[in-house]
Amino acid sequence: MSIVSKFNPIGEKAQAAAPFELFVAVIIMTFVVIVGYNALVAVTEKVCLNTVDREMTKFKVSLEGTVKMKSQNKIFFSPDSKCFTSKSTIMKIEIEPDKRVCAARCNYPSDGCFVMTFSNPTIADGFISKCLELPPFTNFVTSGCTDDLDVASQGYSAIDPMTSGKIGIGSYIFKNISPAGDTYPKICILYK
């Protein structure tokens, strides 16, 4: 009996098992690629939401400072643009009339509060809200905002931040145009 004939039955079994082992290896590799891709997407979305949160905080602080100090502030709002590419992205300021929601978001009970919200349903957990500590009768106005020739010549136009989709990536100027002694702030938000 030759050496080849002794090992031939084992070689046939190995040859028969090779396609199955290759199939299992392809399935495992596909699974690893899918899991890796999903992990990469999740990390990218989290980074994107973190930049939105950071930029919303910058927007909030600047706006609140404008109202409190009766001043003018300029910021560049630049979160990761991947969060804003979807047409379903909404970012706006709204008045929340529910006391319970105000207490949860602003940590104080109030009959109404201003809340800045970002939502993008195409991103997992794509909702962020920030309580704006503004007087209850703050008015966002669009008339009389570009009377300053310098602002108008720079290409800024007044927007209503309470209209859905008006807050986007770009340069902003916040102006408090309330007359001295006025208890109800009139705020212009200029966008370019």
Considering the domain boundaries, does residue 157 fall inside one? yes
Number of structural domains found in the chain: 1
Chain segment 114-129, per-residue pLDDT in tens: 999 998 888 888 899 9
pLDDT at 1: 47
**Pairwise CA distance, residues 28 & 154, whole Å:** 58
Give the pairing type, strands 139-141 and 186-191.
parallel
Q: Which residue has the higher pLDDT, 131 or 18?
A: 131
> Which percentage of the chain shows pLDDT scores above 90?
27
Residue at 30 is within a domain = no
178 located within any domain: yes
Taking residues 85-107, report their average pLDDT: 85
For 133, the domain range is 39-191
pLDDT at residue 189, rounded to an integer? 92
Which position has the higher pLDDT, 38 or 55? 55
pLDDT for the residue numbered 75:
94
Residue 173 within a domain: yes
